[in-house]
Amino acid sequence: MFVPLYDSVYRDVGVGPGTRLLGLGCGSGLALLRAASLGAEVTGTDSDADLLGMARQRLLPAPEQGGRRWPAHLAPELLPEAGAAPFTLITAFGGAPDPEVLRRASAWAAPGSSVVVAGAGDPGAFAATITAHLAGRGDETGPLADPSPAAPFGATVTEDGRRELEERWLLAVVKAAGLRGPRIGVANCPFGYPGLDGALRGLLASGAFDAAINTAGADQVVKELVEAIRPCVREDGTVWLPNPLPYVVAKV
């Protein structure tokens, strides 16, 4: 699902041979693999040992596993070890990191290097406003607060409003990290489901509609969701829900 984001960012900043990329919170390594396949040397950090193990299998498989070994280094920590070669690109996909972590990581980059932070997305965001009134919050108005990693977006914010909030948060993070010249890009990373039933299960499991269910009941919420999803059903029966993800590119 996030491949369109990775590819859009890499086209945007010109990833290729000569790129030395640091991926903060690299997870299972798919974004690093996409960059390595374009010719980049990649370094990934992540504190989740299981995800980092998956990244190692992708990028640095053991000889008995077969597969290509890429020019990659993986570290079980937030930041690379001292003495790492200057990076020319730093990425943080799946949500902006702490500004201090981003600031410290930028110290390992060459002057003028790009730093990219991207949003994480929300499978329930596109339809949350349709069921907001069922939770008794449809008439709320007033200024919208900046989101934070610890505070999910409110259910009454529109899809465009959610993206605007996330853009504001990403901009605030890169500015707090001391980066300059930020600009915003958007990549569409739709949530795909094999059919309507699967889409309903996925959305209801996201927790985005729990308050509406508590107020109006599951049957009414499902009815509203079916109507919201129907325009997203393709001729082959698959469902693709729009999921525009913002990212911010700034400079060291």
CATH of the domain at 107: 3.40.50.150
**pLDDT of res. 160:** 63
Average pLDDT of 217-235?
A: 89
pTM for the full model?
Answer: 0.79
Domain total in the chain? 1
**pLDDT of res. 205:** 87
Residues 167-220 have pLDDT tens digits of 889 999 999 999 999 999 999 888 889 999 999 998 888 787 887 888 888 898
Q: Is residue 107 part of a domain?
A: yes
The pLDDT confidence band at residue 145, using thresholds 50, 70 and 90, is very low
d(CA 231, CA 227): 8
**pLDDT of res. 45:** 93
Q: Is residue 24 part of a domain?
A: yes
DSSP one-letter string for 29-44:
SHHHHHHHHTT-EEEE
Q: Is residue 233 part of a domain?
A: no
What is the domain range of residue 68? 3-123+144-189+244-251
Q: Is residue 57 part of a domain?
A: yes
Residues 6-28 have pLDDT tens digits of 999 999 999 999 999 999 999 99
Average pLDDT of 129-138?
A: 54
Q: Is residue 199 part of a domain?
A: no
- Counting other chains too, the contacts that 197-202 makes at CB distance below 8 Å and 24 or more residues apart are 198/239, 199/229, 199/232, 199/239, 199/241, 200/225, 200/226, 200/229, 202/123
**Cβ partners under 8 Å of residue 87, min gap 6:** 20, 21, 22, 43, 108, 109, 110, 113
DSSP one-letter string for 109-121:
EEEEEEEEEE---
Least confident of 66-70, 117-121, 122-126, 210-214: 122-126
- Count of all residues that appear for the chain in the document: 252
Q: Is residue 92 part of a domain?
A: yes
The pLDDT confidence band at residue 151, using thresholds 50, 70 and 90, is very low
Q: Is residue 129 part of a domain?
A: no
Residues 66-110 have pLDDT tens digits of 889 999 999 998 887 765 679 999 999 977 789 999 999 999 999
Two structure tokens written together for 83: 């003495």
Residues 33-62 have pLDDT tens digits of 999 999 999 999 999 999 999 999 999 998
Is residue 161's pLDDT more than 90? no
**pLDDT of res. 125:** 61
Q: Is residue 56 part of a domain?
A: yes
d(CA 170, CA 189): 18
Two structure tokens written together for 28: 């299972």
